[in-house]
């Protein structure tokens, strides 16, 4: 029997799995963000905050914007995308680490922005990431598609380039910690015209 890939809209009840996949896609960045709720005493763990964030019915980048990939009935990956609205200009970075990301997003307002694209390690090299990326391109309905990745994430960059994305800009990332690996945030976009 051949393995079957199914893409489906996420449901609110998928929030915990979404949080894990967003954490994988962000290489630890999401947990760093979510840990603020622990420091404020609102949550017991960063992943609890991530689950709460993914359950949100109104914020962009939560369950309503997510597509899940299932491989033989098991959740294998996720893409989260939404239309980048003018309101991104009004967001004040709550921490210097966030500022370069917002500065890059402002340059692609109006595009479909892929916030997260992640696949569990044991499901990689099966075409799941490519299928999720194609679904996001389809959802753009002719608009530009954009995303931001780390400069050292060569595997992801190869996938994006093979799918018609080109580098538009890059900014140095503000390190999360003193010993963090230095990198740039790289903005990729795919024009549909």
Q: pLDDT tens across 43-67, in order?
A: 899 999 999 999 999 989 999 999 9
Rg (CA), the chain: 16
Contact indicator for 192, 164 with CB cutoff of 8 Å:
no
Mean of per-residue pLDDT scores for the chain: 94
Q: What was the pLDDT predicted at 179?
A: 80
For residue 181, is pLDDT > 60? yes
pLDDT over 90 at 155, yes or no: yes
Mean pLDDT of 128-149: 96
Percentage of residues in the chain with pLDDT exceeding 70? 98
Task: Inform me whether the pLDDT recorded for 141 exceeds 90.
Answer: yes
Q: How far apart are CA 111 and CA 188, in angstroms?
A: 11
What's CA 166's distance to the chain center, in Å? 17
pLDDT category at 177 given cuts 50, 70, 90 is confident
From first CA to last CA, the distance across the chain in angstroms is: 40
Buried b (16+ CB within 10 A) or exposed e, 89-124: eeeeeeeebeebbeebbeebeebbbbbbbbbbeebe
Q: 7 has which bridge partners?
A: 69
**How many C-beta atoms lie closer than 10 Å to residue 140's C-beta?**
18
Phi, psi for residue 145 in degrees, rounded to 5? -115, 135
Predicted pLDDT at 178: 79
Backbone angles phi, psi at 157, to 5 degrees: -60, -35
pLDDT at residue 1 is higher than 70 = no
pLDDT band, very low/low/confident/very high, at 2 (cuts 50, 70, 90): low
Q: Is residue 136 scored above 60 in pLDDT?
A: yes
For residues 155-163, average pLDDT: 96
Task: Measure the CA–CA gap between 186 and 145, rounded to whole angstroms.
Answer: 14
- Report the predicted TM-score, pTM, of the whole model to 2 decimal places: 0.93
């Amino acid at each position: 029997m051949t393995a079957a890939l199914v893409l489906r809209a996420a449901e609110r009840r998928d929030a915990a799995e979404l949080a894990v996949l967003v954490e994988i896609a962000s290489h630890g960045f999401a947990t760093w963000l979510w840990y603020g709720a622990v420091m404020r005493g609102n949550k017991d763990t960063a992943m609890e905050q991530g689950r709460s964030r993914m359950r949100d019915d109104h914020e962009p980048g939560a369950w309503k914007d997510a597509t899940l990939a299932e491989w033989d009935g098991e959740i294998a990956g996720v893409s989260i995308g939404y239309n980048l609205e003018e309101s991104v200009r009004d967001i004040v970075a709550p921490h210097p680490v966030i500022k370069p990301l917002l500065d890059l997003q402002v340059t692609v307002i109006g595009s479909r922005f892929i916030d997260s694209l992640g696949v569990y390690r044991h499901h990689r090299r099966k075409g799941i990431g490519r299928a999720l990326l194609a679904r996001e391109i389809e959802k753009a309905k002719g608009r530009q598609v954009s995303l931001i990745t780390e400069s050292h994430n060569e595997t992801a960059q190869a996938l994006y380039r093979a799918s018609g994305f080109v580098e538009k800009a890059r900014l140095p990332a503000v390190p999360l910690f003193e010993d963090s690996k230095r990198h740039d945030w790289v903005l990729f976009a795919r024009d549909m015209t």
